[in-house]
């Protein structure tokens, strides 16, 4: 990440804080006055499904390698991390940090960094040889002012086009569209020749998610990455074209989209009710849970116009300043960074390792394709999933898209996005 990051109720919150806090924030003391590595408290929002199973696998590896350290799982459920982040913010403000906490690698961590709440991990990266283990582009995109602040344990892909082979066949389409223009034509064909939904969309955040793929597919990887740098030009004609494409594509989504969650929108594809859905690759894990068969009930490709570019996001772990059990936290980060740890976690989670030396035999179907793509593609950071924008910028983009869904006014959307970039503070 370059300079610009290329950069609940009160009672409920208090209850969660009481459960997860570390007894006043003090660490156990050894005879020499230093913090003893007797336990490690790890904070995340991995509480169910494949992510919980993946965490359990890493924890088992940690306990095997560090039998003298108690692992305290401080996971908080709910809201795709929203509740957990609220609890975490309260703990950090109270100077009661966990020993390590989960966060999306990238600009999402900027608030913690600017508040002085995270330790840089440059020396850790050097000691663990992670600059060689991770792709160089990834290192660049998670570096802020010369420092790295988290360890990516996995990689998800945002720009995936999921499609129904049966619906495409019914519409007379031979395969996934490769360009934005082909995609718009395919949507039109599905609408005219079938009674199926051309593009299945969900709640508003899935429109934000769609926007980043349309921007990438229209602009190309270099111009897309440049949008998130200082003094980026959001007022140019290519951005206008991308937003016009976004408007056209939204015209082929179902009317009830605003009240439909992403799972329902994705399920429309595997149930043969919709032709396409653009969603992150966590959809593959969901389809597996539903018992759907790859290459039969569904197929996949890079979202239109983005072949050869991996729009990535990553769950990562940090080292908070004043961690009560810092030495134990470092041992946990070693598991997160290791080939063994990542190969234990990712097949269960439904993601791929950040490392380049994964055991490819462990990754099947979609994940096998994703792993190959990761090793060869150019990289673009996901806007919506925390890589390229801080929380303030993220919120302003979401507000602009929400207004646009009602007005469909492209000039106003472009003006709002340009203002959001200027006011981001990155």
CATH at 285? 3.40.190.10
- Per-residue pLDDT, averaged over 366-375, amounts to 95
- The pLDDT score that the predictor gives to residue 36 is 58
Residue 396 has pLDDT above 80, yes or no: yes
For residue 299, the cross-strand partners are: 163
Across the beta sheet with 197-199, the strand order is 197-199, 274-278, 160-163, 299-302
Cα 249 to Cα 348: distance, rounded to the nearest angstrom: 34
Residue 78, in any domain of the structure: yes
> 143 and 22 in one domain?
yes
Residue 14 has pLDDT above 70, yes or no: no
Residue 411, in any domain of the structure: no
Residue 376, in any domain of the structure: no
| pLDDT top residue among 278 and 257 | 278
Across the beta sheet with 150-152, the strand order is 70-73, 39-43, 100-104, 315-318, 150-152
8 A C-beta contact, residue 118 and residue 399: no
Residue 80, in any domain of the structure: yes
Residue 9 has pLDDT above 60, yes or no: no
Domain boundary among 365, 384, 407: 365
Residue 15 has pLDDT above 70, yes or no: no
- The pLDDT score that the predictor gives to residue 228 is 95
Residue 340, in any domain of the structure: yes
> 291 and 360 in one domain?
no
Domain boundary among 305, 324, 339: 305
Cα 327 to Cα 407: distance, rounded to the nearest angstrom: 54
pLDDT, tens only, 50-73: 889 999 999 999 999 999 999 999
Residue 274 has pLDDT above 80, yes or no: yes
> 231 and 127 in one domain?
no
- The pLDDT score that the predictor gives to residue 78 is 64
**Cβ neighbours of 35 (radius 10 Å):** 19
Residue 423, in any domain of the structure: no
- Per-residue pLDDT, averaged over 162-179, amounts to 98
pLDDT, tens only, 288-319: 889 999 999 999 999 999 999 999 999 999 99
Confidence band for 18, pLDDT divided at 50, 70 and 90: very low
Q: Domain range holding 252?
A: 160-305
Residue 123, in any domain of the structure: yes
> 216 and 82 in one domain?
no
- Write phi, then psi, for 51 (nearest 5 degrees): -65, -40
- The pLDDT score that the predictor gives to residue 251 is 97
> 141 and 49 in one domain?
yes
Residue with tokens 């299945």: 200
Contacts of 360 (CB under 8 A, 6+ apart): 368, 371
> 48 and 121 in one domain?
yes
Cα 231 to Cα 169: distance, rounded to the nearest angstrom: 46
Handedness of CA 213, 216, 219, 224 (dihedral sign): positive
pLDDT, tens only, 25-37: 334 443 333 455 6
Burial class (CB in 10 A: 0-12, 13-18, 19+), 90: middle
> 320 and 300 in one domain?
no
> 322 and 361 in one domain?
yes
Cα 198 to Cα 220: distance, rounded to the nearest angstrom: 24
- The pLDDT score that the predictor gives to residue 181 is 98
> 292 and 185 in one domain?
yes
Checking phi first, is residue 78 left (phi over 0); if not, alpha (psi -120 to 50) or beta? Answer: left
Residue 348 has pLDDT above 50, yes or no: yes
Residue 230 has pLDDT above 90, yes or no: no
> 115 and 67 in one domain?
yes
Residue 334 has pLDDT above 60, yes or no: yes
User: Could you give the number of structural domains in the chain?
Assistant: 2
Give the total residue count for the chain.
426
**If we measure between CA atoms, which residue out of 382, 391, 215, 189 comes closest to residue 306?**
215
């Amino acid at each position: 990440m370059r300079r610009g990051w290329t950069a609940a109720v009160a009672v409920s919150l208090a209850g969660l804080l009481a459960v997860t806090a570390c007894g006043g924030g003090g660490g156990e003391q050894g005879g020499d006055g230093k913090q003893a590595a007797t336990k490690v408290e790890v904070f995340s929002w991995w509480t169910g499904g494949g992510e919980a199973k993946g965490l359990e696998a890493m924890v088992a590896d940690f306990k095997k390698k560090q039998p003298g350290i108690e692992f305290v799982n401080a996971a908080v459920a709910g809201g795709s991390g929203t509740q957990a982040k609220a609890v975490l913010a309260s703990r950090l403000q109270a100077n009661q940090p966990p020993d390590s906490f989960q966060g999306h690698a990238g600009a999402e961590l900027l608030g913690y960094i600017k508040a002085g709440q995270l330790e840089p991990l440059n020396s850790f990266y050097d000691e663990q040889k992670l600059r060689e283990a991770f792709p160089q582009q990834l290192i660049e995109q998670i570096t802020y002012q010369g420092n790295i602040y988290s360890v990516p344990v996995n990689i998800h892909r945002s720009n995936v086009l999921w499609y129904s082979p049966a619906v495409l066949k019914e519409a007379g389409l031979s395969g996934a569209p490769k360009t934005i223009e082909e995609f718009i034509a395919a949507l039109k064909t599905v609408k005219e020749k079938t009674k199926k939904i051309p593009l299945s969309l969900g709640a508003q955040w899935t429109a934000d998610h769609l926007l980043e793929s349309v921007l990438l597919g229209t602009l190309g990887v270099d111009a897309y990455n440049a949008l998130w740098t200082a003094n980026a030009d959001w007022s140019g004609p290519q951005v206008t074209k991308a937003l016009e494409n976004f408007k056209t594509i939204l015209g082929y989504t179902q009317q009830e989209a605003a009240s439909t969650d992403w799972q329902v929108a994705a399920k429309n594809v595997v149930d043969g009710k919709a032709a396409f859905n653009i969603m992150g690759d966590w959809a593959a894990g969901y389809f597996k849970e539903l018992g759907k068969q790859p290459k039969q009930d569904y197929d996949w490709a890079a979202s239109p116009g983005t072949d050869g570019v991996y729009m990535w996001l990553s769950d990562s772990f940090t080292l908070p300043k004043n961690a009560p059990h810092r030495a134990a936290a470092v041992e946990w980060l070693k598991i997160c960074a290791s080939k063994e740890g990542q190969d234990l976690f990712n097949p269960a989670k439904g993601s791929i390792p950040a490392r380049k030396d994964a055991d490819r035999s462990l990754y099947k179907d979609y994940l096998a394709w994703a792993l190959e793509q990761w090793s060869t593609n150019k990289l673009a950071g996901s806007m919506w999933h925390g890589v390229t924008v801080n929380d303030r910028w993220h919120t302003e983009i979401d507000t602009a898209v929400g207004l646009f869904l009602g007005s469909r006014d492209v000039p106003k959307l472009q003006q709002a996005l340009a203002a959001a970039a200027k006011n981001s503070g990155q």
